[in-house]
Structure 1
Amino acid sequence: MMPDPIDVYPERSHIESNDADLTQKHLEQTYSARFTITRTGSCSCNHSRTDAGSFAVEEIQQTGDVLLRTDRVPAVIALYVQDGRVEVEHGRLTGSAGPGEWLLASTGVGSVQVRVRDATLRSLVVSRTLLTEVAAMDTDTSTVPRFTGLAPVTAAAGHTLAATEQFLNRILTAPEPPANRLLLTSTARMVASAILAGFPNDLPTDGAPEGGGDAYPALLRQAVEFIRDNAAHDVGVGDVASALYLSPRTVQYMFRRHLDTTPTAYLREVRLARAREELIAGDRSITTVAATAARWGFAHTGRFAVLYRRTFGESPHETLRR
């Protein structure tokens, strides 16, 4: 089972302008970020983007000397410099790139400062959610990936990124871009994998479990903790997914792969166990089976009784009478 990261079919946007205010508004809308932009001399921006929701490809021509600052861009952006120069300060990470080189302009977290000097660029844009989902699929002990450098790990990694970008650009900018969800999903996974493999990060590289051999990946442990902490509330798979910045399908995949169950079934097991603890500790003069069932998310007392007996080999009333 694969994650389903495609939010929309490919959509194209474009701006070509030397109007500073119009360009800033376009960039802020495109990247969902508030920018402080400083320009030196006459500047113009030609920006084309093909967006598939969780990933996008871009072509950018920026004349002049432009400095962009923002507290955070909520996506990972990898730039390929065809001409000109780009310099990036990203928290404690710094880097620069010239013609024929790749550079991370954003890791999706933390403040960013990007300086562009008369540059022609191509870019890959990937959501943090997509990267996390792909890491969860490929690495049994994955956490939310954190990048530790802005330049590719090797020259070969840069060549792979370039080949990936060229392939994506040909597919997404064709006169009739693909509308097949399966193809787009596979493409999304490919670009996310290329970025994770191409730039230094803290994911394990040899497939060995983190922490010396923990049985389950960190994201699954976090999902289990979320369910246990919120079992008394009206939560579902969507809430678990949102808390971990994953898709519901990825959460379902992790539970089936590692626990041979579903998140919904696991939540039901936790609620049944909590209800049993309450009945065992309850006072028969105050505690009722119906109230306990309702408190732990079982609106139908009869159905609760059936599940309870199937799980514990006795009825909830027998437990309460102990």
Structure 2
Amino acid sequence: MTGTGGVTSAKPAGPLAPRNGRTTRTEPSRPVTGGVTRTEPSRPATGGVTRTEPSRPAVTRTGGGVTRTEFRTRRAEEAGRYLGDAYGLSLRLGAATDGPEYSLVRTDAGAFTDGVVSLPARIEFSTDEVTDLTVVAVSAGLFERTTAGVDERFTAGDVLLVRPGGRPCFARHTGTRCATVNLSAELLAEAAATANPRRPGVPRFTGTTASDPSLAVLWTRTRDFVAETLTTGVTSPLVLGQAGRLLAATALTVFPNTASAEGPLPADTRDATPGTLHRAIAFIDANADADISLADIAAAVHVTPRALQYAFRGHADTTPLSHLRRVRLARAHADLKAAGPGAGVTVAGVATRWGFAHQGRFAAAYRRMYGTSPGATLRG
């Protein structure tokens, strides 16, 4: 299944946004009973007939443009309507009955969206031509698809692209649970420019499955890492920017595409000079608190990303992003040392500010660098 936010930032699912010309209402976040439909008692005004209210998605906005939407229902018709709207599909439930729980838990982080969907009954859907990219990792059940006359079957452990190359398809889910990731065109174009500056623009994916089984595992681990980051409630632009770029770069590694790496350009080696290194270090020092990428650093010093990598490797025995992480770690160290008693500063807050979402990894890197723990530095 795929989302509707590939070219622009994805919008919250279902009734949170207008779709197909139908204007719906944005409801404030409220406690719900797991999204399960609620049946009100009989009332005289309705002639004693019970009324079943539709399930409402539970919406949590954590700030920084991040929105988490959770929808659950045991009504097959309602599931079909909601999931169809959420993923932009023409969807039909085949012989589905009320009872099993359908669910969608989705986190919209702007440039990318992560979701987990559970489809206990058979669901069929068709798609129109689109160009947005959605990666699906199947963890249970069966996903069958027919595209351009080619039939495919996917089961637990398989990773695939949905609607690759903008081609329409017909598909069906049977008792499926899967994780979905939507990537914006902007993220993909940035990743492609970094991988291959000779082919700018949004890459075209030429295959629907991972080039190798080990790459399917790589995608699953990367997606799980990002999903774990999102569950912390982090909204730091530095953390979210890194997470989105990591997903896009991994997608280019896992699935065949037109941005596949080629040999170096003559300028890549010619521009890998000490001067390039020094200008890049100055840019990083001045912008370490901003959400900057490898492509941003290279553009600032007027070289290709590959030339920048060669300069750091050849003259500093490191990489541009490793140096950026080291600078941010030093800034975090300075903040911890400068924090006075009672100032309300926390290790978690300082780490997140400088782009470190996972406290355990931050603490380990901090100890390697400074020989002590972040907490000890904060306590003085």
Q: Name the TM-score class by shorter chain.
A: 0.5 to 0.7
Partner of 1:142: 199
Contact 1:24 1:35 in 2 (8 A): no
2:145 equivalent in structure 1: 88
Q: Which residue of structure 2 aligns with residue 317 of structure 1?
A: none
1:200 corresponds in structure 2 to 256
Distance 2:65 2:150 in 1: 34
Match status 1:114 vs 2:171: yes
- On the 8 A contact 1:6/1:184 being kept in 2, the answer is no
The answer as to whether partners of 1:69 and 1:114 remain within 8 angstroms in 2 is yes
Q: Residue 243 of structure 2 aligns with which residue?
A: 187
Deviation at 1:68, TM superposition (A): 0.9
Contact 1:47/1:59 (CA < 8 Å) preserved in 2? Answer: yes
Matched, 1:37 2:92: yes
Q: How does 1:233-312 map to 2 (within 5 A)?
A: 257=302
Aligned AA (2:207): G
Q: Hey, what's the Cα distance between the residues in 2 that align with 1:251 and 1:172?
A: 24
1:74, distance to aligned residue in structure 2 (A): 5.0
Change (3 A) 1:6 1:39: closer
Q: 1:105 to 1:121 in 2, by over 3 A?
A: same
Distance 1:88 1:130, change over 3 A: farther
**Separation in 2, partners of 1:256, 1:42:** 61
Q: Which amino acid is 1:46 matched to?
A: S
Residues in 1 aligned to 2:150 and 2:248: alpha-carbon distance in whole angstroms: 21
Q: Equivalences for 1:154-193 in 2 at 5 Å?
A: 154-174=212-232, 177-193=233-249
Match of 2:70 in 1: 14
Q: Secondary structure at the match of 2:220?
A: helix
Show CA shifts across 1:251-270 (max 9, x none).
Answer: 997697369xxxxxxxxxxx
Report the Cα distance in structure 1 between the residues aligned to 2:299 and 2:172, rounded to whole angstroms.
41
Unaligned runs of 5+ in 1: 216-249, 260-322
Distance (whole Å) between structure 1 residues aligned to residue 130 and residue 77 of structure 2? 19
Aligned to 1:23: 79
Bigger proportion of residues as strand: 1
C-alpha distance in structure 2 between counterparts of 1:77 and 1:95, whole Å: 17
Distance in 1, matches of 2:186 and 2:267, equals: 24
Shift of 1:200: 1.4
> Which position in structure 1 is the counterpart of 2:107?
50
Q: Distance in 2 between matches of 1:148 and 1:41?
A: 35
Q: CA deviation at 1:106?
A: 3.0
Taking the aligned partners of 1:252 and 1:19, their CA distance within structure 2 comes to 51
The percentage of aligned residue pairs carrying the same residue is: 21
C-alpha distance in structure 2 between counterparts of 1:189 and 1:39, whole Å:
38
Q: Which has the larger radius of gyration?
A: 1
Residue 15 to residue 58, structure 1, CA distance change in 2 (3 Å): same
Long gaps (5+) in structure 2: 1-7, 11-63, 269-294, 305-380
Cα distance between partner residues in 2 of 1:93 and 1:189? 32
Structure 1 stretch 137-146 or stretch 5-14: which is displaced more? 5-14
| Equivalent position SS for 1:53 | coil
Q: Secondary structure at the match of 1:145?
A: coil
Contact 2:252 2:260 in 1 (8 A): no
Q: Secondary structure at the match of 2:225?
A: helix
- Local SS of the residue matching 1:41: coil
* Residues 153 and 192 (structure 1), Cα distance of their counterparts in 2 relative to 1, 3 Å cut: same
Distance, in Å, in 2 between the alignment partners of 1:89 and 1:23 is 23
Q: 1:153 aligns with which of 207, 211, 221?
A: 211
Query: Which among 154, 158, 161 is matched to residue 101 of structure 1?
Result: 158
Measured after TM superposition, the shift of residue 72 of structure 1 is: 3.6
CA distance in 1, matches of 2:91, 2:221: 33
Q: Please report how far the alpha carbon of residue 196 of structure 1 lies from its aligned counterpart in structure 2 after TM superposition.
A: 1.2
CA positional deviation for 1:166: 1.0
Give the Cα–Cα distance (whole angstroms) in 2 for the partners of residues 214 and 35 of structure 1: 49
